[in-house]
Amino acid sequence: MTACFSSLYGGGRGEPMELAWFIEAGRKRWTAIRGRGEPRSTRSVADGSVQHLLRMGLIEQADPDGQYFALTIEGLAVGKEYWRRSDAGDPTLPVISLR
């Protein structure tokens, strides 16, 4: 969602992505989207992964139907700080897996 804040991965420009949920094989899945109405990515994550972001207050519902979720002010701050540290080569951050 926040790679746009990285000068290495996102070019340091752009807007953070939102998350949208959908049901696949009877399970709730989430995918990052660049804009509402855009085709969804073939990559998705399980509901449990996103529930942590909700509990920590890093994302919130962004539409009346509850389909889309966006970063909160705190989520934006955390994302910007993470990418600042990552771009600076902070060895204490977890290793990124870009599969």
pLDDT in tens, 4-63: 999 988 776 788 999 999 999 999 999 999 888 777 778 899 999 999 999 999 999 999
Q: Does residue 92 sit within a domain? A: no
Q: Does residue 99 sit within a domain? A: no
Q: Structural domain tally of the chain?
A: 1
- Per-residue model confidence as pLDDT tens digits over 63-89: 999 999 999 999 999 999 999 999 999
> Order of strands, edge to edge, in the sheet holding 27-33?
45-46, 27-33, 18-24, 68-71, 59-61
- Residues of 77-88 as b/e, b for ≥16 C-beta within 10 angstroms? ebbbebbeebee
pLDDT at res. 26 = 96
Q: Are strands 27-33 and 68-71 parallel, antiparallel or unpaired?
A: unpaired
Q: Does residue 78 sit within a domain? A: yes
Q: Does residue 97 sit within a domain? A: no
> pTM, whole model, 2 decimals?
0.85
What DSSP designation does 53 have?
A: H
Domain of residue 32 covers: 3-87
State how far the Cα of 28 lies from the Cα of 69, in Å rounded to an integer. 14
Confidence check: pLDDT of 94 > 90: no
pLDDT at res. 98 = 61
State how far the Cα of 72 lies from the Cα of 79, in Å rounded to an integer. 10
Q: Does residue 93 sit within a domain? A: no
